[in-house]
Amino acid sequence: MVKKIKETPCQRCGCNITYKTNKPNHCKICRPIFKKEYIKQWEKKNPDKLKKRQDRFKKNNPEKIKEYFKKYSKSEKGIRARKRRQHLPKYVEYAKYCSSLRRSRLRKIIHKFTYKDWLLMRKKTKGICPLCGKNVGLEKISLDHIYPISKADEGRIYTIDDVQPLCIRCNTKKNDKVIKNEIF
């Protein structure tokens, strides 16, 4: 038995689609576009579910995420995004922080705290230097190693308790003396 060829309009562009058994809603060209639009709409309507899904995916596929970021950072889009980011004050500050740690890493000095830990400690000062009491603003509060890095032995470990926030002026004045502030 030969099935009769039927016709139906595409719900997206309205062109005529011919079919034999299952009635399609979209033509071949519109089908992938409709799918994408549908997913986007679903994501917009269910932001919580989307986040849960993404978190689950991240948890279950750490390697895939790593690979994805590797690819992205090497792609044209990724390079452009990085260049844009590098001008942000936040990024400049983080780069400075990293470069200071890199120097100490060469001497095998270990930092057992994260950048976030340091930011939190700095935030607590509210921009006021704990040593001289001047309000210099958060950006001018710098990280000081209570026991100076220049004097530290190879392999010395610094935890968050071994550093303190000081204004740039106090930090340079302190130089390589060991001064611990009472508050921190």
Minimum CB–partner distance for residue 167 and Zn ion (Å): 3
Backbone angles phi, psi at 19, to 5 degrees: -150, 165
Minimum CB–partner distance for residue 30 and Zn ion (Å): 3
Q: 164 near 148, Cβ under 8 Å? A: no
Q: Is 141 helix (H, G, I), strand (E, B) or coil?
A: strand
Q: In the complex with Zn ion, which residue's Cβ is closer, 35 or 82?
A: 35
Residues 6+ positions from 3 with CB-CB distance below 8 Å: 20, 21
In order of 5, 29, 31, 177, the CA distances from 14 in angstroms are 18, 12, 12, 79
Which residues contact Zn ion (rule: CB under 5 A)?
10, 12-13, 27, 30, 129, 131-132, 167, 170
Minimum CB–partner distance for residue 49 and Zn ion (Å): 29
Q: In the complex with Zn ion, which residue's Cβ is closer, 30 or 109?
A: 30
Minimum CB–partner distance for residue 168 and Zn ion (Å): 8
Spatial CA neighbour of 142 closest among 113, 120, 104, 171 = 171
Q: In the complex with Zn ion, which residue's Cβ is closer, 30 or 121?
A: 30
Q: In the complex with Zn ion, which residue's Cβ is closer, 13 or 110?
A: 13
